[in-house]
Amino acid sequence: MVRWSAAVLAGSVAAGGALASVTIGGTRVIYPLDEREVTVKLTNDSRNPSLVQVWLDRGDEDANPDDIAVPFVITPPIFRMDPKKSQTLRVIHGGGEALPQDRESVYWLNVLDIPPKAAPRSDANMLQIAYRTRIKLFARPPGLPGSAEEAPRRVAWKIVPASDGDGQSLALSNPTAFHVSYSRITVSANGRAFENARGGMVAPYGSEIIPVPAMDGVHAGTVRYTAISDFGGAIEGDADIAP
What pLDDT, on a 0 to 100 scale, did the predictor assign at position 17?
Answer: 43
What pLDDT, on a 0 to 100 scale, did the predictor assign at position 6?
Answer: 35
Q: Using an 8 Å Cβ cutoff, are 101 and 93 in contact? A: no
pTM: 0.87
Name the maximum alpha-carbon separation found in the chain: 67
What pLDDT, on a 0 to 100 scale, did the predictor assign at position 191?
Answer: 93
Q: Taking the C-alpha atoms of 43, 47, 53 and 57 in order, what is their torsion angle to the nearest 10 degrees?
A: -50
- Average pLDDT of 19-26? 88
- Average pLDDT of 58-80? 96
Q: Using an 8 Å Cβ cutoff, are 176 and 151 in contact? A: yes
Secondary structure (3-state) at 13: helix
146 has pLDDT over 70: yes
Q: What are the b/e assignments for 214-229, b being 16+ CB within 10 Å?
A: ebeebeebebebbbbe
Alpha helix positions (H), the chain: 6-15
Q: Using an 8 Å Cβ cutoff, are 90 and 37 in contact? A: yes
Q: Using an 8 Å Cβ cutoff, are 32 and 91 in contact? A: no
Other C-beta atoms lying within 10 Å of the C-beta of residue 78: 15
| pLDDT tens track for 169-185 | 999 999 999 999 999 99
The model's confidence at residue 14, banded by pLDDT at 50, 70 and 90, is: very low
Mean pLDDT of the chain: 90
The model's confidence at residue 11, banded by pLDDT at 50, 70 and 90, is: very low
212 has pLDDT over 60: yes
Checking DSSP bridges between strand 50-57 and strand 105-114, what pairing results, if any? antiparallel
**Cis amide leading into 76 (omega within 30):** yes
- Going by C-alpha positions, the residue among 43, 98, 107, 102 that lies closest to residue 74 is 107
∠ CA(32), CA(38), CA(41), 5° rounding? 135
| pLDDT tens track for 88-109 | 999 999 877 899 999 999 999 9
Residue 171 makes CB contacts below 8 A (sequence gap 6+) with 157, 158, 159, 160, 207, 208, 209
What pLDDT, on a 0 to 100 scale, did the predictor assign at position 127?
Answer: 66
3 has pLDDT over 50: no
